[in-house]
């Protein structure tokens, strides 16, 4: 496959349970061996995977995910991988990429259709960053040159960054370079722009793809954004709320059931051209949104974004064109036969391989149970509430063994530990409130 291509290395990438990227690099001369036998990894060193007593696992490259990695000095062929247990050799039930492939296959079998996702990835570019914590100290300080430039500058007003043009938008060339890099990785983008936040908030929007490919694209896009920023001497953060009183970073998921040329969400004679199937799908997502939050908004920081005043949802509702609603139906769609909906609750601390299938399964549950999209329930206000909501409402995720009780339990265990790590630590602002009491 790589004869006379100049490729010297193979980089094998795979996600952890929480969605972080891990990799191992081998020489290209081992390609045939890797395809046949896989590469061994220690699952006990990956959050939420295996115990130390039986940590051995194998990864096998998915040849359909091949691209030349633009961030390696030596020419390197990159592949995303699937995880397998070794005794017996079978797909690992907690492998995120296995979950999303099972969900896509279930949809094809049960409804003879596909689901397409488009992701809006928001992030802040950071020029200066320092943070640390310990038994007697805790601090962070982050800044963007857009906010803290010395001397004469072109300021961006509070909440005034949306589609702002150069010279106020200092990062248009960075985003062009990023879009070019993503294209080299096989990821096509719809557009990019400066977002509302004045501290270097950006958005890059990808194109509709079948769910499994869309999840792969998002996984690699986060990797590419961080590496591209590092090449420019910058940092990026996908944290939902890195700045107090500034807009947060969301991960909006546009979606529809159907094909590349038609959407089952379109109803020519229905109100607002939304089919009854679409309304039931919306109903299912809204009904299960508090539980979905544990997967789509799994960080303790997530709930600092889901507050009033920042174009972020706080209730399970939907509306035509509203950016404060959990589900927005875009009103500017010209080709109504590609009708879509936009789910605005999620953020990029989610593992896309879990978030997308979970949203799909909630929608399918709504279709099967004829749910109406009239639910209006307050969203969880912290990750502990979201985990409790998931404990009370997760059966819809177990369809066809896509998610399992074991996986849900492990996810809750890992994320509850994160909550406790934050909950038990003194917060710097508590010193403002209580140090002198």
Given this model, what pLDDT does residue 276 score?
Answer: 97
C-alpha–C-alpha distance, residues 351 and 16, integer Å: 9
Q: CB neighbours of 210 closer than 8 A, spacing ≥ 6?
A: 104, 114, 115, 116, 117
Look up 374 and say whether it is catalytic.
Answer: no
Mean pLDDT over the full length of the chain: 93
Given this model, what pLDDT does residue 153 score?
Answer: 67
Asked if the model's pLDDT at residue 413 lies above 70, the reply is yes
Question: Catalytic residue among 340, 344, 347, 365, which?
Answer: 344
Given this model, what pLDDT does residue 271 score?
Answer: 86
How would you classify residue 392: left for phi > 0, otherwise alpha for psi between -120 and 50, otherwise beta? alpha
Torsion angle of C-alpha atoms 345, 212, 116, 313, degrees rounded to 10: 0
Displacement of CA 326 from its chain's centroid (Å): 16
Quick check: 147 and 160 in contact, CB under 8 A? Answer: no
Asked if the model's pLDDT at residue 149 lies above 80, the reply is no
Question: Catalytic residue among 62, 95, 120, 217, which?
Answer: 120
pLDDT digits (tens, 9 = 90+) for 128-139: 888 898 888 888
Per DSSP, 315 falls in state: B
Q: Where does the pLDDT of residue 147 fall: very low under 50, low under 70, confident under 90, or very high at 90 and above?
A: low
The whole-number average pLDDT for the span 266-287 is 95
The whole-number average pLDDT for the span 89-98 is 95
C-alpha–C-alpha distance, residues 182 and 371, integer Å: 39
Cβ atoms within 10 Å, residue 105: 13
Closest among 341, 346, 345 to 264, alpha carbons compared: 341
C-alpha–C-alpha distance, residues 77 and 17, integer Å: 24
Considering the entire predicted model, what is its pTM?
Answer: 0.95
Quick check: 106 and 112 in contact, CB under 8 A? Answer: no
Closest among 96, 386, 94 to 240, alpha carbons compared: 386
| Percent of the chain with pLDDT strictly greater than 70 | 97
Please tell me the number of Cα atoms within 13 Å of 57 on its side-chain side.
25
Asked if the model's pLDDT at residue 143 lies above 90, the reply is no
C-alpha–C-alpha distance, residues 335 and 208, integer Å: 14
Pairing of strands 56-61, 76-86: antiparallel
Asked if the model's pLDDT at residue 380 lies above 60, the reply is yes
Upstream peptide bond of 284 is cis (omega within 30 degrees of 0): no
Given this model, what pLDDT does residue 150 score?
Answer: 54
Closest among 101, 100, 19, 31 to 60, alpha carbons compared: 31
pLDDT digits (tens, 9 = 90+) for 13-56: 999 999 999 999 999 999 999 999 999 999 888 878 877 567 88
Look up 33 and say whether it is catalytic.
Answer: no
Look up 53 and say whether it is catalytic.
Answer: no
Displacement of CA 285 from its chain's centroid (Å): 17
Look up 385 and say whether it is catalytic.
Answer: no
Question: Catalytic residue among 29, 42, 105, 413, which?
Answer: 42
Q: Where does the pLDDT of residue 375 fall: very low under 50, low under 70, confident under 90, or very high at 90 and above?
A: confident
Question: Catalytic residue among 252, 254, 305, 328, which?
Answer: 252
Given this model, what pLDDT does residue 334 score?
Answer: 78
Where do the DSSP E strands lie in 171-264?
189-194, 201-206, 209-210, 235-237, 251-258
Asked if the model's pLDDT at residue 70 lies above 60, the reply is yes
Given this model, what pLDDT does residue 270 score?
Answer: 87
Torsion angle of C-alpha atoms 48, 49, 50, 52, degrees rounded to 10: -60
pLDDT digits (tens, 9 = 90+) for 153-182: 678 888 888 899 988 889 999 999 999 999
C-alpha–C-alpha distance, residues 220 and 185, integer Å: 8
Query: Whose structure tokens read 């349970």?
Result: 17
The whole-number average pLDDT for the span 327-354 is 94
Burial, 207: exposed, middle or buried (Cβ in 10 Å; 0-12, 13-18, 19+)?
Answer: middle
Look up 413 and say whether it is catalytic.
Answer: no
Q: CB neighbours of 247 closer than 8 A, spacing ≥ 6?
A: 159, 195, 196, 197, 201, 310, 311
C-alpha–C-alpha distance, residues 96 and 84, integer Å: 12
Length of the chain: 437
Look up 328 and say whether it is catalytic.
Answer: no
Question: Catalytic residue among 127, 169, 195, 365, which?
Answer: 195
Given this model, what pLDDT does residue 3 score?
Answer: 67
Quick check: 213 and 312 in contact, CB under 8 A? Answer: no
Domains along the chain with CATH numbers: 9-92 (3.10.20.70), 101-434 (3.30.590.10)
Asked if the model's pLDDT at residue 269 lies above 90, the reply is no
Would you call 123 helix, strand, or coil by DSSP? strand
The whole-number average pLDDT for the span 412-420 is 96
Question: Catalytic residue among 122, 169, 217, 365, which?
Answer: 122
Look up 203 and say whether it is catalytic.
Answer: yes
Question: Catalytic residue among 69, 146, 203, 216, which?
Answer: 203
């Amino acid at each position: 496959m790589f004869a006379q291509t100049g490729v010297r290395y193979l980089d094998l990438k795979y996600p952890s349970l929480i969605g972080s990227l891990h990799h191992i690099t081998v020489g290209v001369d081992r390609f045939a061996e890797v395809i046949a036998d896989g590469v061994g990894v220690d699952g006990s060193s990956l959050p939420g995977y295996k115990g130390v007593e039986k940590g051995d696992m194998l990864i096998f490259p998915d040849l359909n995910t091949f691209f030349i990695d633009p961030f390696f000095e030596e020419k390197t062929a990159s592949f995303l991988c699937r995880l397998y247990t070794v005794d017996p050799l079978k797909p690992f039930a907690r492998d995120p990429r296995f979950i999303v492939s099972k969900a896509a296959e279930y949809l094809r079998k049960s409804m003879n259709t596909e689901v397409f996702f488009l992701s809006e990835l928001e992030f802040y570019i950071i020029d200066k960053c320092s943070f640390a914590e310990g038994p007697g100290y805790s601090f962070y300080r982050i800044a963007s040159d857009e906010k803290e430039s010395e001397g004469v500058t072109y300021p961006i007003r509070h909440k005034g960054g949306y589609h702002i043009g150069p010279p106020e938008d200092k990062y248009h060339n960075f985003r062009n370079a990023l879009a070019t890099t993503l294209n080299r990785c096989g990821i096509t983008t719809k557009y990019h722009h400066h977002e509302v936040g004045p501290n270097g908030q950006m958005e890059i929007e990808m194109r509709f793809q079948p769910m499994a490919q869309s999840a792969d694209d998002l996984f690699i896009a986060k990797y590419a954004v961080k590496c591209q920023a590092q090449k420019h001497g910058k940092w990026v953060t996908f944290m939902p709320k890195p700045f107090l009183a500034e807009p947060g970073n969301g991960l909006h998921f546009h979606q529809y059931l159907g094909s590349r040329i038609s959407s089952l969400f379109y109803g020519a004679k229905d109100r607002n051209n939304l089919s009854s199937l679409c309304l039931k799908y919306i109903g299912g997502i809204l009904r299960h949104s508090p539980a979905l939050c544990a997967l789509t908004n799994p960080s303790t920081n997530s709930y600092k974004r889901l507050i009033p005043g920042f174009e972020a949802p706080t209730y399970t509702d939907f509306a035509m064109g509203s950016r404060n609603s959990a589900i927005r139906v875009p009103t500017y769609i010209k080709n109504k036969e590609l009708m879509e909906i936009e789910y605005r609750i999620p953020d990029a601390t989610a593992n896309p391989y879990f978030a997308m299938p979970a949203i799909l399964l909630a929608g399918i549950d709504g279709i099967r149970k004829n749910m109406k999209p009239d639910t209006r329930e307050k969203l969880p206000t912290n990750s502990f509430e979201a985990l409790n909501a998931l404990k009370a409402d997760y059966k819809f995720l177990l369809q066809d063994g896509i998610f399992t009780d074991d996986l849900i339990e492990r996810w809750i265990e890992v994320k509850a530990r994160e909550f406790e790590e934050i909950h038990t630590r003194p917060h710097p602002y508590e010193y403002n409130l209580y140090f002198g009491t």
